[in-house]
Amino acid sequence: MLDLIFLIIVLIYLITASLYDIKTREVPDFLSYSLLAIALFFSLSKSIYFLTFSFILQSLFGMLIFLLLSFILYYSKQWGGGDAKLLIALGASFPVYPEILLQYFSPNLSMPFQAILLINLAVFGSLYSILYAILVVIKNHSLKNFNKKYLILLYLSLLLFVISFFLEITFSLLLILVALLALYPFLYHFIKIFEKNFMNKTIPLSKVTEGDWLTENVYKNKKLILSKNLPGLTLQDIKRLKSLKIKQVKIKYGMPFIPSFLIAFIISLIIGSLI
């Protein structure tokens, strides 16, 4: 019963973080930190109750694995700080599949649950990002500088996907692989153009927040003040810009990505591994 209560708590946290991310494009640190604290306390309590270190060690190991991954994604500017911190808390929360759910679901647990969660996050996160970008383009009725020649690759990949349904499994999988290879250049070009059109914006310094990514170097009297290669602006960086009376900066807006965490987490609990 305690496992089920903890699961409900994690779902409430993910829903709350998703709403924050959609509304403000930020996830408050208190959500990630408090979830991490609750997860570690819960694992420690189970270890004390059952007189074994396994639960707290599993939780710490999960936190470490997701911490390393979060560092890579953050410093490569793939994710914002809020996304990375919440992923760390999620790794500590569920290093293994909650056994109580096996009474209700029959998920494919052919690999460690952490691997399942990460694979599902990669798959559904990618689908979510593409759908989000398409909806933004439709809403704005434009996508400047998009090379329409890449549409040929899109149509080709869709055709190959359709044909694959009518073939034997071996040829079907081979054709799907070819379709994915054909689709990749289109998606890469589309996302790059999308970022230039909708994700890079010049905003007043008063609206800049900690963790924002610069897309252009900041100069004062032709002297470099801040490099765009920084992983994210700190509060000290923002104070420095204000002291130098910098009026505005060009930053990269991140899309609200936390909803894909919620989707991938639910899919992982119900279905398990997609492989």
Residue 85: which of 36, 20, 23, 14 has the closest Cα? 36
24 has pLDDT over 90 = no
What is the chain's mean pLDDT, rounded?
90
Q: Give the DSSP per-residue string, 240-255.
A: HHHHTT--EEEEEPPP
Q: Give me the mean pLDDT over the 57-80 stretch.
A: 91
Residue 114: which of 275, 2, 268 has the closest Cα? 268
88, 36 contact by CB (below 8 A): yes
Residue 180: which of 196, 160, 194 has the closest Cα? 160
Backbone angles phi, psi at 269, to 5 degrees: -70, -40
Q: From CA 125, how far away is CA 122, in angstroms rounded?
A: 5
Q: From CA 235, how far away is CA 243, in angstroms rounded?
A: 12
Residue 18: count other Cβ atoms within 10 Å of its Cβ.
20
Per residue in 142-200, pLDDT tens?
888 889 899 999 899 999 989 988 888 888 888 988 988 988 899 889 988 988 888 88
Per residue in 210-260, pLDDT tens?
788 888 999 988 899 999 888 888 889 999 999 999 999 998 877 899 999
User: pTM above 0.85?
Assistant: no
Per residue in 33-62, pLDDT tens?
999 999 999 999 999 999 999 999 999 999
Q: From CA 222, how far away is CA 101, in angstroms rounded?
A: 61
119, 274 contact by CB (below 8 A): yes
The three-state secondary structure class of 212 is coil
The three-state secondary structure class of 168 is coil
Q: From CA 182, how far away is CA 152, in angstroms rounded?
A: 9
Q: From CA 117, how far away is CA 12, in angstroms rounded?
A: 18
Amino acid identity of residue 131, one-letter, is L
Cα dist. 42→13, 47, 54, 71, 110 in Å? 15, 9, 13, 25, 26
Per residue in 91-135, pLDDT tens?
999 999 998 999 999 999 999 999 999 999 988 998 898 899 989
Q: From CA 188, how far away is CA 160, in angstroms rounded?
A: 19
187, 130 contact by CB (below 8 A): yes
